[in-house]
């Protein structure tokens, strides 16, 4: 059969239900094959958005997300999306068209060396030069993307490969001699960890995105309750334990809760699970958790000892390791530590100055949480992201979807599209800044076209807010290129222009009603919340400071 048809058949075999993408000459053959398929294709308006949507789909479901793009500009437009997925270990497969084999290397029309370009930001990538390798490649790609530490895989398909004739024998097995993820933790190391845990007086669990990726949330909660130990998460770990759980400390790091940061700093044992100790999480490394022994559980051996020295390394899948670890642990109350942490929680709650005149962005998020605590939340990047992380108390894994590693503005809205495509019955809300929203605003057309009824809450401060905050605090209020001077811009009209529903909200008293209305409308809705322009995110650990060196605001 035609290779293009074999590709689509292979995707069906892999259980693919949705593909996001944009066609073009080099991949037209594959699109032609897609025409007769049961797989639903969603035509985005930008390839970057297609990849973010596939990524959002993957993060919401745990399945591999798929995106298509044509050669050259189509392919290069995917790069930000791929890098975003790479930094957050999200499993996606991106297929790009490529010029015919005979033209490769000749700077042909719409040629780009996309495998070269994406080498540093993919878990693996392929340029298929032999149609007989095609099916094996697809099989491998899905396997690599979804297993071990997940990540993006790109397959570049020269046009003449897609038009070739192949036999459809989709391989059952794969042979990758160099790829053998280790799932079971070493029993001796696990025992050692258990001994340290039993001896610890001030144990804290630090959970990252890996816990969510390995579906280990239940085990995590059980471990926390069994020890018992408080649980702080990274931004990516939000939802690993319900943030309404008495042992939850919320998230740590630059804008994490004070009590999470203090607890980690004063712990005598840190049980780090599926976390990579990014600088936004640890603060100044040399002063990170100075008294703590550290146990690190991670499926990727390269993460262990990369940024922080580790006492007990355990390489393995978080779920399996925790199941084993729990069997070695018995409950022991640690009254003094508990009193101390509970004291911090009481003394330093997240708080902001309430206002009856100006809309506080935090207030908007609190209301979203009150009205739709089970909504899937995506975020953009900046202040909006940090407020969402602080004030939306996530109760389930895969409920909070954010670009943690790359920090990609423009991620949240298409990611919401992806999540909503996977779960049309759920409320999906993108919490956005005005700057970020404009970076992929064209996807409103896609939402309207396909009835993808996501809600976007724009916290509109007419600034690139987070950068403005840094300029205010560290650069003498020199607001260089952060003021988005567009008082005349109407987000409401932009939404309407695309055929979606737009709203503008200027008073705190209108926030709740507007949200209620938006959640009831069966259409994509964008609400422009005109928020207090100069509101800052607190608490804040300045870049390069230690976690306990927190700046806070008087309230």
Partner 1 sequence: MRHTIAVLVEDRPGVLARVAGLFRRRGFNIESLAVGVTEKQGVSRMTIVVSGDDRTIEQVTKQLNKLIEVIKVSDVSKNSVERELALVKVSATPQSRAEIIEIANIFRARIVDVARDSLIVEVTGDEDKISAFIDLMKQYGIKEVTRTGKIAMQRGSKALE
Residues within the interface to partner 1 (CB under 8 A):
115-116, 119-120, 123-124, 127, 129, 144, 176-179, 300-302, 305-306
Residue (of 19, 168, 30) closest to 98 by Cα position:
30
Binding partner selected for residue 542 from partner 1, ligand TPP, none, CB under the kind-specific 5 to 8 Å limit: none
Chosen residue from 55, 111, 324, 434 binding ligand TPP by CB under 6 A: 434
Q: What are the angstrom distances between the C-alpha of 458 and each of 56, 228, 498?
A: 19, 39, 16
Chosen residue from 67, 466, 505, 518 binding ligand TPP by CB under 6 A: 466
Would you say the C-alpha torsion 427, 379, 366, 523 has a positive or negative sign? negative
Q: Output the smallest distance, CB 87 to ligand TPP, in A.
A: 12
Residue from 439, 466, 503, 540 carrying the catalytic annotation: 466
The nearer residue to ligand TPP, 264 or 381, going by C-beta atoms, is 381
Residue from 110, 225, 323, 396 carrying the catalytic annotation: 110
Query: Cis omega before residue 546 (within 30°)?
Result: no
Q: Quote the radius of gyration of the chain (alpha carbons, Å).
A: 24
| Contacts for 314 with CB less than 8 Å, ≥ 6 apart | 185, 186, 189, 190, 193, 295, 296, 297, 298, 321
Q: Output the smallest distance, CB 138 to partner 1, in A.
A: 15
Pick out residues in 385-424 that bind ligand TPP (CB under 6 A): 407-410
Chosen residue from 4, 464, 525, 541 binding ligand TPP by CB under 6 A: 464
The nearer residue to partner 1, 41 or 149, going by C-beta atoms, is 149
Residue from 123, 136, 139, 159 carrying the catalytic annotation: 159
489 noted as active-site residue: no
- In the DSSP assignment, the letter for residue 462 is S
Neighbouring CB atoms inside 10 A of 436's CB total: 29
**Helices 258-266/335-347 angle, 10° precision:** 150
110 noted as active-site residue: yes
CA distance 398 to 390: 17
CA angle 315, 319, 322 (to 5 degrees): 75
Q: Does 380 bind ligand TPP (CB under 6 A)?
A: yes
Burial 295-317 (b: 16+ CB within 10 A, else e): bbbbbbeebbeeebebebbbbbb
Binding partner selected for residue 30 from partner 1, ligand TPP, none, CB under the kind-specific 5 to 8 Å limit: none
Binding partner selected for residue 417 from partner 1, ligand TPP, none, CB under the kind-specific 5 to 8 Å limit: none
Pick out residues in 16-35 that bind ligand TPP (CB under 6 A): none
Residue linked to tokens 């996977």: 422
Q: Output the smallest distance, CB 79 to ligand TPP, in A.
A: 12
The nearer residue to ligand TPP, 76 or 461, going by C-beta atoms, is 461
159 noted as active-site residue: yes
Q: What are the angstrom distances between the C-alpha of 520 and each of 452, 453, 455?
A: 14, 11, 10
Binding partner selected for residue 25 from ligand TPP, partner 1, none, CB under the kind-specific 5 to 8 Å limit: none
182 noted as active-site residue: no
Binding partner selected for residue 129 from ligand TPP, partner 1, none, CB under the kind-specific 5 to 8 Å limit: partner 1
The nearer residue to partner 1, 133 or 549, going by C-beta atoms, is 133
Catalytic site positions: 47, 109-110, 159, 466
């Amino acid at each position: 059969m035609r290779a293009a048809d074999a590709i689509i058949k292979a995707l069906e075999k892999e259980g693919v239900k949705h593909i996001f993408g944009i066609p073009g000459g080099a991949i037209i053959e594959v699109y032609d094959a897609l025409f007769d398929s049961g797989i639903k294709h969603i035509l985005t308006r930008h390839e970057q958005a297609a990849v973010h949507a596939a990524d959002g789909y993957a993060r919401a479901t745990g399945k591999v997300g798929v995106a298509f793009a044509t050669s050259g500009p189509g392919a290069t437009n995917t790069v930000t999306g791929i890098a975003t997925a790479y930094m957050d270990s999200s499993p996606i497969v991106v297929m790009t068209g490529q010029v015919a084999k005979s033209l490769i290397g000749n700077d042909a029309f719409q040629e780009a060396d996309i495998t070269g370009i994406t080498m540093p930001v993919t878990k693996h990538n392929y340029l298929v030069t032999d149609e007989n390798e095609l099916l094996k490649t697809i099989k491998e790609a899905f396997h690599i993307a979804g297993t071990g530490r997940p990540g993006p895989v790109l397959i570049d398909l020269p046009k003449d490969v897609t038009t070739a004739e192949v036999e459809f024998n989709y391989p059952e097995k794969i042979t990758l001699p160099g790829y053998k993820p280790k799932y079971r933790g070493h029993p001796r190391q696990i025992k050692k960890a258990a001994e340290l845990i039993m001896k610890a007086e001030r144990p804290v669990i630090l959970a990252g995105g890996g816990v969510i990726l390995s579906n280990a949330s239940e085990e995590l909660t059980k471990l926390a309750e069994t020890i018992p130990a408080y649980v702080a998460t990274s931004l990516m770990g939000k939802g690993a334990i319900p943030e309404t759980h008495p042992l939850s400390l919320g998230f740590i790091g630059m804008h994490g809760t004070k009590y999470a940061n203090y607890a980690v700093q004063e712990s005598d044992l840190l049980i780090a699970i599926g976390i990579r100790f990014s600088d936004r999480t640890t603060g100044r490394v040399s002063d990170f958790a100075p008294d703590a022994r550290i146990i690190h559980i991670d499926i990727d051996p390269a993460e262990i000892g990369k940024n922080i020295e580790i006492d007990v390394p355990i390489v393995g899948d978080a779920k399996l390791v925790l199941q084993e670890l729990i069997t070695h642990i018995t409950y022991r109350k640690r009254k003094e530590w508990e009193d101390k942490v509970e004291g911090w929680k009481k003394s330093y709650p997240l708080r902001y100055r309430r206002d009856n005149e100006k809309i506080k962005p935090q207030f908007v998020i609190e209301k979203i949480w009150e009205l739709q605590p089970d909504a899937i939340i995506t975020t953009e990047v900046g202040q909006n992201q940090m407020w969402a992380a602080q004030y939306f108390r996530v109760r389930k894994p895969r409920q909070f979807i954010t670009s943690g590693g790359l920090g990609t503005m423009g991620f949240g809205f298409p990611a919401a599209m992806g999540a909503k495509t996977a779960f049309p019955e759920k409320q999906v809300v993108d919490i956005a800044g005005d700057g970020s929203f404009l970076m992929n605003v064209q996807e409103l057309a896609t939402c309207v076209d396909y009835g993808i009824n996501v809600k976007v809450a724009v916290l509109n401060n007419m600034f690139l807010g987070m950068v403005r905050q840094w300029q205010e605090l560290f650069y003498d209020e020199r607001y260089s290129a952060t003021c988005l001077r567009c008082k005349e811009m109407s987000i409401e009209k932009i939404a309407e222009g695309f055929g979606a529903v737009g709203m503008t909200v200027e008073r705190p008293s209108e926030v709740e009603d507007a949200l209620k209305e938006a959640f009831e409308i069966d259409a994509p809705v964008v609400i422009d919340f005109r928020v207090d322009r100069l509101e800052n995110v607190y608490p804040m650990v300045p870049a390069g400071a230690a976690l306990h060196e927190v700046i806070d605001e008087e309230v």
